[in-house]
Structure 1
Amino acid sequence: MAVPYEHLSGAWRYPAAARALHWLIALLVLVVWPFGMVIKFIKDDAKTGFYFVHESFGFLILWLMLARLAVRLINPPPPRPPLPLWQERIATLNHVLLYAALIAQPIFGFLATNAFGFPLSWFGLVTVPSPIGKSPLAPTLMSVHVFLGWSILVLFALHIAGVIHHHVIRRDPTLQRML
């Protein structure tokens, strides 16, 4: 049975900081992911600009995800509407994997960039020192970065499928918890 949004108590909603970080990170992923996918097809004269946007916003996602993790640890999520145990476990697993991938992926991208010999100039304001310097590990680090990028896309699609399932089929207040 659907529970109208206006009848939800505040205890059912995520804290404002969690909601803001969720939507900001989602927006940034929707910018960063396509930039990363098309870089290899961009002509050399424009490639630097694509790398600049991809790397700067990717590094920002790392810090926002760490803030989001801190908010989640300080303020546990509100209770979910009752779910079958298998759905509860799938939802939890997808969230854990999304958090892990969204933290690990920019780290591997940063390390790969450094290992290829390029420092990170974060938005042109701060040069982030390389913890590893130029290294033969660069192709391996980049492979992990790309794998995590594709994994994020799959996890994101599963997350959206869950949202649609709750909102359209179950008609429960799951979506309203994050609005």
Structure 2
Amino acid sequence: MNSYGYTPSDYDVLFGGLFVTIIIATIIFAIAGYIITALIYYYSAKTNGLGEIAFWSWIPVLNIYVLFALGSTKTSLDEIKKEALMFLLIYIGLGILSIVPFIGVLASIALIVIAVYFIYRLFFRWTGDSGTSILFVVLMFITGSIFYYIYGLIKMKKPFVA
């Protein structure tokens, strides 16, 4: 018994251990997801003529720049970089704005919409078909991104078809 007169029960220890286990598992899965995503972006950028910016894939938060470049509709490298930078700045601005009460909800929704659109664009560039890309985005959500990781690892070293 400690000085407060409270003795932890077996349930306290059980739930405390469960909580710590869940946190450790979440951290491990987050790191694994980050590494897989960085690999996908890096090799996709290298394969599709964006080798100049492929190294950004390994930098947290800034790796979104590579996603924006991979999903770009522009054709020249300079235009792709400008468009990706513009969306990165908008994305970071919305991320900062998402902290503000009330407006933050709208900013968070905008962040999600931008990210989902560019993931759709990446699927479209891999498949060349709009309907398939929409299906793949839905499958990504249903499987908790597992589909994205598997498909991305398969396609990362193949040139875009669209």
TM-score, normalised to structure 2's length? 0.33
Bigger relative contact order (CA 8 A; separation at least 6):
1
TM-score, normalised to structure 1's length? 0.30
